[in-house]
Amino acid sequence: MTQSVHRSAGVTVRAAAKINLHLGVGAPRADGFHPLATVFQAVGLCDDVTVSADEPWEIQVSTPSWMPDGAVPTDASNLVARAADLLSRHHDVPLGGRVAIDKAIPVAGGLAGGSANGAAALVALDRAFDLATSDDDLLALAAELGSDVPFALVGGTALGRGRGELLDHVADGGTWWWVMVPSAEGLSTPDVYRHHDRLRPDAPVEPEVPHALLEALAAGEPLALARHLHNDLEAAAVDLRPELGELIARGESEGALRGMVSGSGPTVVFLAESADHARDLAGALMRGGHDVVLVANGAVAGAHVVTSYA
Ligand code: C5P
């Protein structure tokens, strides 16, 4: 008997999209990455990753009808494949299995959907193959996969430093309602950072921690949070896609407490006062001609097993 009693034939792990409530970006470091002071929030717009351990290696992607076909690569460049490779080398064991990604998070949208898939794959493969990777090792592997992947593991609301991978828990006293409008075409994160460097040659070496925003979060006060939402990459994203500026203005004129670009964009997120307010705002944006409008609340959990079967 070589098979462990804990090994599961199949595991489904859910991981959430993130919004940056604050994204402070400094001048590029020697390694090309930008020092960040960011506040992440995981919101209830989730992708599921299912590993079927007894099948041959394959990545399958299913997308909702409103997502462009073929937007997610199924080759070695998919973060799920890179997660499997990292975990396999870490434990020095071969890892196989069919990995099915069920997408709801827009691709290349500034919501860290790829990072969510990478984080979910790390957890699903770890459980399916009974690898018992420590939390610290999973976080280190996640940071190798990408700057936003550690937060996708942890979830909740967190302060991110370094290139976004160094996380501290922050107090969050609210249930925050978000209305999100994705774009049909994604934006390249490196392009947006490069454009930001051109627009902001005076960026600081160390961006500052947003204390006023952290206070609004802890107090659970939507109007105060709305006042302090901030994204240094917004100017670059709007310069590359001027229609994003018009979308923000339209959402705010329809009653959003505040609209902003999420991360490097192009998804625009609007803060609403309540679930009812979010529903009304989503309806108004759809009547205004936006075909895809998503509603989610935060904060929600990081990557976690939702189904496991023997
Ligand atoms: O780490 P990740 O793969 O998510 O980053 C994607 C790209 O975004 C990087 O290659 C880099 O161009 C840019 N980036 C950056 N500074 C960060 C995070 C990402 O310049 N802190």
For 188-229, the pLDDT digits (tens) are 999 999 999 999 999 999 999 999 999 999 999 999 999 999
> Which residue has a Cα nearest atom 9 of ligand 1?
190
Quote the DSSP letter at residue 75.
S
Choosing from 34, 117, 188, 232 the residue with most ligand 1 atoms within 8 A of its CB, the one to mutate for a pocket test is 34
pLDDT tens digits, one per residue of 42-99: 999 999 999 999 889 999 999 999 998 788 989 988 999 999 999 999 999 999 899 9
Q: Give the per-residue pLDDT at 70.
A: 82
> What radius of gyration do the chain's Cα atoms show?
19
How large is the angle between the packed helices 79-91 and 113-128, nearest 10 degrees?
Answer: 40
Q: What residues does ligand 1 touch, defined as CB less than 6 Å away?
A: 33-34, 36, 146-148, 163-164, 189-190, 193
Give the position, in ligand 1's atom list, of the atom nearest the Cα of 149.
4
Reference 213, options 43, 42, 39, 41; nearest CA is: 39
> Which residue has a Cα nearest atom 15 of ligand 1?
33
**What 3-state DSSP class applies to 56?**
coil
From residue 40, how far is each of 61, 215, 308 by CA, in Å?
26, 15, 28
Choosing from 115, 163, 195, 264 the residue with most ligand 1 atoms within 8 A of its CB, the one to mutate for a pocket test is 163
Looking at the DSSP assignment, which residues form a beta bridge with residue 95?
A: none
